[in-house]
Chains A and B, each alone.
Chain A
Amino acid sequence: MQIILISITFINFLIGAWLYYVLRKSRLLFSDRFGYTASYFASSTLGLVASLNLILLFPNSFEIVGVLNILLGITIGFLYGSMLNAQSLIAGIYNGGISAIMGTMVGLVVKNPAICGLPGTIASEQEMTIFFALFSLFIQGISTILLLFSFKA
């Protein structure tokens, strides 16, 4: 199970790096509003997916991974937001941090549903982990396709 999680994390970061390269190459074409939307969209998606994968990969050391997730989300938001101006920078940093916190919360609830007061789940813990890893890959793929189509429309 570890090898699937590691490979999915690697694929997600690779898609994010490729999206960063594509956006960076054509950043002179951005209007003010599209810079805000693209920064918000890309940083919140990649922050959510990366923090969810990391908390599923190391579920035992919650505090250290939580702190590193927030720092990683802020870094991702800074990288995506520093393309155009100060507005997109603020939007990227704030939404990257918020989505990293939300991804950490989702990962903890997936590992232990009794946190929220749920009585338990029908699916076992391994099935939940595999499902949410594949779900993060799905979210990242759909979001990247939607953001790349915006250059055509």
Chain B
Amino acid sequence: MPEWIVIFYPINFLSAYVLYIFLYNRRKQIGFHLGMNITMVAAGGLALGTGIIFINLYPFYFLEATLFSVIIGGISGILFGNLFDYQTLLSGYITGLMMGIMAPMVGAAAYEGVMFLIMIEIFILSSFCIAASSAYKT
């Protein structure tokens, strides 16, 4: 696996940060249904990207990959859910945990495939963009 896929980490975290700042100004106008779906998209996508990239960079460290992606998913679910409601926090946490456990196994099953990684990155970034635009319309 080439080394340049490390560049996906700052892209993911920066876009999640931009989405958080964008949602923070509009959090009073968003209802709980839309807030729950936005939280699940953000937490699951961030955990998925983190786990797949880590297991492709260091294929001998399965334990650390699971730990890292579960922690990233849980913390991002709690942070995004804390904008709206307490039950949204619970939904975001459990989605991030499930995705974080599953992501290193998906990445290991798709080992040595760069096109698959790029497609997953495009999918995650486009779901972030759709979440931001849905918050903009209301």
Contacts and interface: CB of A to CB of B under 8 A. Distances in A.
Interface of A: 33-34, 37-38, 40-41, 44-45, 48, 99, 102, 105-106, 109-110, 113, 116-123, 127-128, 131-132, 135, 139, 142-143, 146-147, 149-150, 153
Contacts of A142: 74
B111 to A, nearest CB: 5
Q: How large is the interface on B (under 10, 10 to 19, 20 to 34, 35 or more residues)?
A: 20 to 34
Given A150-B87, A150-B90, A120 B97 contact: no
A118 B67 CA distance: 17
B108 interface: yes
The DSSP consensus for interface residues of chain A is helix
Contacts of B59: 118-119
B61 A121 contact: yes
A146 B89 contact: yes
Contacts of B66: 135
B16 to A, nearest CB: 21
Interface in B79-125: 86-87, 89-91, 93-94, 97-98, 101-102, 105, 108-109, 111
B60 interface: yes
Contact of A139 (B60, B97, B105): B97
